């Protein structure tokens, strides 16, 4: 029998190579039996945190301040006044940050419009409580327009594997057009008496950027050159 490391000839009774100290292994010699210790072997338990339990605790963190603000408001003013804004803000933050975590694979195509719907409801509450009269003519079409643009981009980016530059370029141009709509709605709702002016600047800039992105998407040599230069 020889050492597999230094090649020194070993006796059958050798357990360790006397030259290099390598432990001797021989396929014909049976391996020693496992020693049964008088005490159990310590094994660290790897307990996984329950998703439902964790999310329940996080939800309670939001529920407690909501209830406290409501109780304080009712005890002082005997009606819901400032607590409505606190509750609305807490619920919006919960929908944006915590609600998708309840699902293992949250679908942004669903949660993006849900988030915008929550914003619309909160703005409706603010308008009704303050008798503003600006919800239908300004807040609703403005937020709905942003929601349509963002939801379309998210949907296309998720389900369409190619044409990213076309999607982003079209979204940038649509955002510029939406600025013109916002300008018109501001003049219509608040009677500013001004003509559409400031929105033309972002319209021109965003349209220029969007057309550049679309042109890059069409021109393959330019697109490949930019990928090599900017590692994108």
Per residue in 36-62, pLDDT tens? 555 566 666 554 667 788 889 999 999
pLDDT at residue 152, rounded to an integer: 95
Whether residue 145 lies inside any domain: the answer is: yes
Per residue in 58-105, pLDDT tens? 999 999 999 999 999 999 999 999 999 999 999 999 999 999 988 888
Per-residue pLDDT, averaged over 22-39, amounts to 59
How far apart CA 29 and CA 81 sit, in angstroms, is 85
Whether residue 196 lies inside any domain: the answer is: yes
Q: Are 108 and 158 in contact (CB under 8 A)?
A: yes
Domain range for 3 is 1-33
Whether residue 75 lies inside any domain: the answer is: no
Whether residue 149 lies inside any domain: the answer is: yes
Q: With cut-offs at 50, 70 and 90, classify the pLDDT of residue 25.
A: low
Lowest mean pLDDT among 35-49, 70-84, 105-119, 149-163: 35-49
> Of 16-30, 31-45, 120-134, where does the model show the most confidence?
120-134
Q: With cut-offs at 50, 70 and 90, classify the pLDDT of residue 6.
A: confident
Total domains, the chain:
2
Task: Give the global pTM.
Answer: 0.72
Q: Using only the alpha carbons of the chain, give its radius of gyration.
A: 33
Lowest mean pLDDT among 22-26, 53-57, 214-218: 22-26
Whether the pLDDT of residue 27 is over 60: the answer is no
Whether residue 172 lies inside any domain: the answer is: yes
Whether the pLDDT of residue 145 is over 60: the answer is yes
Whether residue 183 lies inside any domain: the answer is: yes
Q: Are 115 and 95 in contact (CB under 8 A)?
A: yes
pLDDT at residue 226, rounded to an integer: 75
Nearest-5° angle of CA 80, CA 85, CA 89? Answer: 140
3-state secondary structure of 82: coil
3-state secondary structure of 16: strand
What is the signed CA dihedral for 216, 218, 222, 226, rounded to 10 degrees? 50
Whether residue 110 lies inside any domain: the answer is: no
Whether residue 65 lies inside any domain: the answer is: no
3-state secondary structure of 186: helix
How far apart CA 77 and CA 67 sit, in angstroms, is 15
């Amino acid at each position: 029998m020889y050492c597999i490391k230094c090649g020194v000839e070993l006796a059958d009774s050798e357990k360790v190579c006397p030259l290099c100290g390598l432990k001797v292994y021989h396929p014909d010699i049976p391996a020693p039996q496992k020693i049964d210790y008088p005490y159990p072997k310590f094994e660290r338990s790897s307990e996984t945190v329950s998703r439902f339990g964790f999310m329940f605790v996080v939800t309670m963190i939001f529920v407690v301040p909501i209830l406290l603000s409501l109780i304080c408001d009712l005890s002082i003013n005997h009606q819901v006044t400032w607590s409505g804004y606190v509750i609305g803000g807490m619920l919006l933050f919960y929908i944006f940050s915590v609600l998708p975590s309840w699902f293992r694979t949250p679908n942004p195509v669903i949660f993006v419009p849900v988030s915008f719907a929550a914003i619309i409801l909160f703005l409706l509450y603010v308008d009704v409580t303050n008798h503003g009269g600006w919800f239908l003519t300004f807040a609703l079409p403005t937020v709905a327009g942003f929601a349509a643009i963002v939801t379309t981009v998210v949907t296309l980016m998720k389900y369409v594997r190619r044409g990213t530059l076309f999607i982003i370029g079209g979204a940038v141009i649509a955002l510029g057009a939406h600025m013109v709509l916002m300008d018109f709605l501001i003049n219509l709702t608040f009677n500013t008496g001004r003509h559409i002016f400031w929105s033309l600047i972002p319209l021109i800039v965003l349209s220029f950027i969007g057309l550049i992105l679309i042109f890059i998407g069409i021109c393959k040599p330019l697109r490949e050159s930019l990928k090599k230069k900017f590692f994108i």
